Amino acid sequence: MKTPCELKNTKGMAVGKDRIERFQASFRGEVIQPTDFAYEKARKIWNASIDKHPGLIARCAGIADVVAAVNFARENGLLVAVRGGGHNVSGRALCDDGIVIDLSGMKGIHVNARNRTARVQGGATLGDLDRETHVFGLAVPAGIMSKTGIAGLALGGGVGWLVRKYGLTCDNVLSFDIVTADGKPRLANSEENEDLFWALRGGGGNFGVVTSFEFHAHPVSTVLGGLIIYPRDRAAEVLRFYRDFTQSAPEELTAYAALIHTPEGVPAVAVVACYCGDLTEGQKVLKSLRSFSSPIADAIQPMAFPQMQTLLDGAFPEGNYNYWKSTFLRELSDDAIALLVEHANRATSPLTGIVIEYYSGAASRVGVAETAFAQRQAQYDLIFLAQWTEPGESQLHIEWARTSADSIRPFSSGLYYLNYLGEESEDTIKAAFGPNYEQLMAVKKKYDPENFFSLNQNIKPQA
């Protein structure tokens, strides 16, 4: 085990104990230091591959704490990480030596059923949000796993079961409360700080600490959803059917395909579907999928939306090792499908999978320049998710993901979804921002000229 580190500035100089004590005395939340009992748990995220040792974790209780933490970090020249749900696969929520501004204690949610809006603090998870909105028969379009943080997800776009009908999560943000690098709390919406409002809808964690979001919620309560699982030897035909089925399906339906193993370790291919409209109509829409070929299991049924949102939680337990590669495809051609099946059959762990997601619909009707999120026309998104339990095997599984991603390159559009990127090159990050990168650099320069918020999919302040 590494010896407890101390708080150091970016030049490697230790920050005096007296300064830390003064900061602690002014803080309402928890200041967690390497010698504290709570530290080991607080420095971890779900992905065991991430092993960082921050010098200090400032678990904020409100906006005043966020302001205090930002000012303390700036005045002492600290490296800064911002933690929402901690789900970024490459551990951007954490840092070594510097300070983590941790929002996980800020989970307040207020739903206004009359206006169909939800105000949500920056540390809430999707599970927290779904629980509150569901009481009013509403839902905010977000991701598909209950433990993901709403903050990181919304700032990078946000795709999930409602994306085709109601758009990306960032398309449903009405306003942001944010603390910028100068320590000022600001509002960003269509009337105030409009450039910031534009940049926050797809520009990631580059512009400050978002303390709360106001979202538009939609009437979604019971959906028709679940998994259909087929044997792996039918994978190519199932994926070809999935491609044609998704192209012609109504926008109420979002469906992903996955080359996975069953919990018993049997290689399989699955389609996970969610229909968010009228249930009788949904039964008709899903009929062709459910009668295709001979599935091993068909668990599609009406369920409360929060239940749909937890169906896949078990596939990503805390403490396993994870490594991801992803890209958008130009098209899901027969040749691309054959290659994907070949790589799935060579997977080095039964926990590893390949997921294909199809969006289009409402998300594609927003103009590329209307928000910072640029990948509006992209259709099939592909993710190689390597997952394993033995730390000594890391290289083997990482190599599988890298080799698979390299081999699919001829079918890639060269574009990427920001939220699925792990540790990637500057060029890949730029490609994810696409034609909006220049404008994002200008907004970054205005609100964060010193690149104070750098541990993210970083946008350099324009020279």
Ligand X SMILES: Cc1cc2nc3c(=O)[nH]c(=O)nc-3n(C[C@H](O)[C@H](O)[C@H](O)COP(=O)(O)OP(=O)(O)OC[C@H]3O[C@@H](n4cnc5c(N)ncnc54)[C@H](O)[C@@H]3O)c2cc1C
Contact residues: ligand X, CB under 6 A: 82-89, 92-93, 103, 122, 143-145, 148-149, 151-153, 155-160, 204-205, 209-210, 316, 419, 456
How far apart are CB 110 and ligand X at their closest, in Å?
Answer: 17
Question: Whose CB is nearest to ligand X?
Answer: 152
Helix (H, G, I), strand (E, B) or coil at 5: coil
Q: Are 460 and 444 in contact (CB under 8 A)?
A: yes
Between 151 and 273, name the residue whose CB sits nearer to ligand X. 151
Measured over the CA atoms of residue 421, residue 42, residue 80 and residue 154, the dihedral's sign is positive
Place of tokens 């302001």: 67
Say if CB 118 and CB 130 are below 8 A apart. Answer: no
Contact of 152 with 91, CB cutoff 8 Å: no
Can you tell me the distance from the alpha carbon of 234 to that of 178, in angstroms, rounded to the nearest whole number? 49
Nearer to ligand X, 175 or 295 (CB): 175
Contact between 451 and 458 (Cβ < 8 Å):
yes
90's CB contacts (< 8 A; 6+ apart) are 50, 421, 422, 423
Closer residue to ligand X in complex, CB, 341/448: 448
DSSP characters over 298-314: E--EEEEHHHHTTTTGG
Contact present, 87 and 77 (Cβ < 8 Å):
no
Is the CB of 234 or the CB of 358 nearer to ligand X? 358
CB of 463 to ligand X, least distance (A): 23
Is 63:185 a contact under the CB 8 Å cutoff?
A: yes
Q: In angstroms, what CA-CA distances link 72 with 24, 103, 104, 234?
A: 10, 16, 19, 58
Whichever of 202 and 295 has its CB closer to ligand X, that residue is 202
CB of 92 or CB of 218, closer to ligand X: 92
Q: How near is the Cβ of 229 to ligand X at its closest, in Å? A: 20
**Do the bridges between strand 185-189 and strand 173-179 make them parallel or antiparallel, or are there none, so unpaired?**
antiparallel
65-103-36 Cα angle (round to 5): 80
Q: Which is nearer to ligand X, 133 or 456 (CB)?
A: 456
Phi, psi of 328 (to 5 degrees): -80, 145
Rg of the chain over Cα atoms, rounded to whole angstroms, equals: 22
Q: Which of 84/461 has CB closer to ligand X?
A: 84
| Closest approach of ligand X to the CB of residue 233, in Å | 28
**C-beta closer to ligand X: residue 145 or 217:** 145
DSSP letter at 16 equals P
Least Å distance, CB 281 to ligand X, is 25
What are 132's two structure tokens?
């509150």
Taking the complex as a whole, the smallest distance from the CB of residue 161 to ligand X amounts, in Å, to: 8
DSSP 315-330: GS-TT-EEEEEEEEBS
> Residue 170 or 341: which CB sits closer to ligand X?
170
Q: Can you tell me the distance from the alpha carbon of 405 to that of 457, in angstroms, rounded to the nearest whole number?
A: 20
